[in-house]
Structure 1
Amino acid sequence: MSRAIAHVHLHLPRSGDETYRQLFTVLAGITPVVQALPADAALLDLTGALRYFDRDPAQLASLLQLRLAARFGVQSTVGIGPNRMLATLAAQTADPTTVQVLPDDPRAVTAFLDPLPVRALPDVGPRTSRTLAAYGLATVGELRGVPRATLQRITTAGTGRLLAERARGHDPRTVQPGGPPALLTARRDFGRDTVDPDTVRRALLSCALELGARLRTGGQVAGRLELEIRLADRSSTGRSRALGEATDHTGTLHTLLYDLHDSLGLQRARLRAMTVRAQALRPVESATVQLSFDRRAELRRRLDPVMDRAAACFGPGALTRAALLLTGGPRTAPGGPGGAPG
């Protein structure tokens, strides 16, 4: 089998941060070139491992699945392809717990990509997708038939060039070795795909409450927030932003999450799930708090330790926001970190 087919995208069941780190040690036992994609995926470059194990990529992927199942009891899904993008798309379109191999053959790659929606391509967000749809470009096959110069006029010079390359299955990115970063993750699954803005805002508030409580319990502050949205067509989009000052304050976290969500311009997109990651963690002792003369802001800040003490005495959800008591809200992912505070 061609050495070019050496990229693997591994999709794991949702788990807590510590469990993910333990799973990552098994991946490193196959190849040192592993890139963490918290909280449920990883990229592997098997180029050096093929000769060492004397197996082809599909056999190595099956060995990896076996080790994960034997040690942790988890069932994983694997996509294998000539580059990062194709491996990821192979994993996203594979049946659960299977291994899907996309061969290093231009005709096979074209046949695989052409029927996929444009949104399946990495870095194509809702706004770009809507722009392309206005010109009748809904699938990768339709996109591939458009000259690069035309795509650049429709979008921008950089975006048009990227779209033309991705539509032809080209992706020069390499796997960047790196273990799981220090972060906290909160995920919310919706009972059904939703377009209801109130449901989405309750989910964002719930994530902010959970992460704020976990930061304070661990004596940490976050310097960056990332929001990832999973859509009904199985594609995803997201944004991240650094905080002006590292914080564990729930109010600051949920305000930034609202801003991140609004910046995505999802409008009537159907949402399936969301994941929020608190990144750039450091000890609370190293953080500075800017003085504020906003009385309401200070009162909201004082509410955090009150809710923490109520949770410690009476359990999570003993004291929560009224908005989270409404029905039809999101569910905390099974096996996910922590629980919804409300």
Structure 2
Amino acid sequence: MPRDLDERELRILHVAQEAFDALKHVERPLLVNGRSSAWEELPAWNRWKVGLSSAHRWPQETDLDAVLLRLLPEKAAMNLAIQAVAARMTKRAELWIVGTNDEGVKSWLKRLSPWFDDVETVLFKRHCRLLRAFRTSEELGLKGSLESWQEKHEILIDGNTTSWVSYPGLFAKGAVDPATSLLLETLSGEKFKRSVLDFCAGQGVISAVLKHRQPDLSIHALDSDALAQAAFEVNVPYVRFFLSDAWRSVPPQNRYSAIISNPPIHQGKAEDQRVLQELIEQSPRWLERRGVLWIVTQRRILMEKRLSSVFKYVSCVAQNNRFWVWKAQN
């Protein structure tokens, strides 16, 4: 879940200024993957919802004369974004890419062929790099539709093989990750009586397992990634999904008997625990009386003090050598 501007994003905005200025002078520009309102002065395509801004699975059907793309450290997600815009760019349209060195921006100097040429570093400053390239007329191998990126898998849901859909950049890449597996094993004896929220639901593993165990259970789910929503709606079609930056798009009247989460603790390469902290701090406002927060994290993340500052009853109910599961309740 991308968050508000931090020091890294301020540096990137500074380095990207030349590209911003160039885009202001073309007829059909596009900003991609911006992480703050500073990217909203020109037409934008954001896969992730930031605050109350819009997020979309795919760019609009229109020709593009120039694109500024904020680097995604996850190569598969970045490759999807590049091909999505390349399919709409006119010949010799400019592609600008901005990112930090530790995110791997330099490697994209050699990754843009055959759809772009004349690739160069325009500016290298403050551990950031601004690249520029020009669209060729090459179309061979270009995946220019969302459907062409859909990945089909099979996963086990409580021992049953289930068809599963994912997209590049989604956590666990079409599998059940070890932390979620521990959480679901811990919840195997629980019977939820009222509505449950799957917070940071991703492609829908937690919701799918809960629905399999209790078919009549009312489940809501949220995530900030529009492609997570696209996968989720195929994988778990009978669960209501909120495309939401944390709690921001959840109807204010909603209350839950349980909130269940394996929250992200990274934004790209950098560790970022703000989603985790917002989950903990705001959960009591969304829980029914005696409602429970169930959360799994890496064991190196110190949880007891954080949870105890918000909840009256806190306990670690399961753990292994990598992860632990916490239960918190007022």
Greater relative contact order structure (CA < 8 Å, 6+ sep): 1
Q: Flag the structure with higher helix content.
A: 1
TM-score (norm 2): 0.31
TM-score (norm 1): 0.30
Q: Flag the structure with higher strand content.
A: 2
